[in-house]
Amino acid sequence: MKRIKIANVKEDNYNCLSILSRFSKFSFQSLPTMNPEKFPIVDFRVIECLQNFGYLDPLKKFQFYRDNLKGYKLYRSEILELASKLKVDLRQLDKALFAFHKINLRLFHE
């Protein structure tokens, strides 16, 4: 079995990501370890916040954004745009949405 080098994945090289996504254990959650400034963390709390605020489709399940190339591209696009508008880095935005979700849990699970 050939090894696939993922350390050199360019920001917009979704062809490589598409190949990786075909492996059953591959999840887009692992991308931030390769390049955290360009590939946001996929967390259910962050997804639910973005869905609640109208940035992502509320009918899609968390797994769509975590395990599907099309879903990850949508998620990544929205969160990068939001971070740019707010003038924060991805880690700051991730922490803020995570904390908001945890503090306001009733908003998401009534």
pLDDT in tens, 11-56: 445 555 555 555 545 556 555 556 667 778 888 999 999 999 999 9
CA distances from 63 to 28, 37, 42 (A): 10, 22, 9
pLDDT digits (tens, 9 = 90+) for 64-80: 998 888 898 899 999 99
Residue 63 pLDDT exceeds 80? yes
Q: What is the pTM of this model?
A: 0.71
Q: Residue 5 pLDDT > 50, yes or no? A: no
Neighbour count for residue 76 (Cβ, 10 Å): 20
Tokens matching residue 103: 């503090």
How confident is the model at residue 6, as a pLDDT?
44
Q: Is the pLDDT score of 82 beyond 70?
A: yes
Distance CA 67, CA 23 (A): 10
Sign of CA dihedral 41, 44, 46, 47: positive
